[in-house]
Amino acid sequence: MADGTMSTSPPNTSDSQEPATAEQILEVYKRMPRISTSRFGRNKDKSPLYLQAVAALRAVADKERTSDLVFAEVYAPLWEVGFARAYGLTKTTKSACLRKLFGKRCGSAGHRYASKFPDSEGFPCHPPGCDHPSLWYKDGKPYAFVYHPYGLRTDEIIELGKLCERLDLNVEIDAVSWHYPGKTISVTLTHKLSRENDRSANA
Ligand SMILES: [Zn+2]
């Protein structure tokens, strides 16, 4: 490498357990085919650490095709902790059930009231399209039901809208999803009233 004949391929990390040094990664990055990152302009003066991270992630993408897992591994705990801190919430370790947001008991250990078959009053255990759910508490009371599907279909979106209207729920869907960052979306259900109380308290 010292003779200036460095190849443009990523550091050869598969033959040994030694990771490339930061300097090696940076040199590789400089010689990589350029991919425009101008739309990520927030960090225009990219630091050496930033460039090393890009090069390392690119190397993993090229060699092992697991760069999405690397990203997810870093961001899953950061985003989950960030969500908890932003709203002052703690996650229940028990099975997540939407009914508990309304002070109702779960129908059974197996979530008897699925989204398609709610109880006679219309309270389901799980909302439409539910996958990877969790229930979050604030001041000892159920506050938010969050789930992380890989996507939502038309019928699920429509049913979710109807459910929110009927039960006076607020829904927010965004990409900051900590179940599998980069692959899933985050759907957060809260009572409209509790969110409004938050806003007035923060005003
Ligand atoms: Zn339930």
Ligand 1 geometric centre to CA of 118 (Å): 10
Ligand 1 geometric centre to CA of 144 (Å): 14
* One domain for residues 131 and 181: yes
Q: Is the dihedral of CA 180, 82, 42, 56 positive or negative?
A: negative
Q: How many CB atoms lie within 10 A of CB 132?
A: 16
Count the helix, strand and coil residues of the chain and give each as a percent rounded to the nearest 5: 40, 15, 50
pLDDT of residue 111: 80
Ligand 1 geometric centre to CA of 113 (Å): 6
pLDDT of residue 22: 65
Instruction: Please list the pLDDT of the chain residue by residue as tens digits (203 residues).
Output: 333 333 444 444 444 455 567 677 667 666 665 555 556 655 567 777 787 888 888 888 888 888 899 999 999 999 999 999 999 999 987 779 999 999 998 866 678 888 888 888 899 999 999 999 999 999 999 999 999 999 999 999 999 999 999 999 999 999 999 999 999 999 999 998 665 666 565 55
Helix 67-87 with 48-63: angle, nearest 10 deg: 130
Residue 5 has φ and ψ, to the nearest 5°, of -105, 30
* One domain for residues 28 and 91: no
* One domain for residues 41 and 92: no
* Domain span including residue 127: 75-202
Ligand 1 geometric centre to CA of 120 (Å): 14
Q: How many CB atoms lie within 10 A of CB 84?
A: 14
Residue 200: CA count within 13 A, CB half-sphere = 5
Ligand 1 geometric centre to CA of 111 (Å): 4
Look-up of token digits 């398609």 = 116
6 DSSP assignment: -
* One domain for residues 26 and 100: no
Ligand 1 geometric centre to CA of 99 (Å): 6
* DSSP bridge partners of 172: 188
Among 65, 83, 110, residue at a domain's last position:
65
d(CA 36, CA 65): 20
* One domain for residues 148 and 197: yes
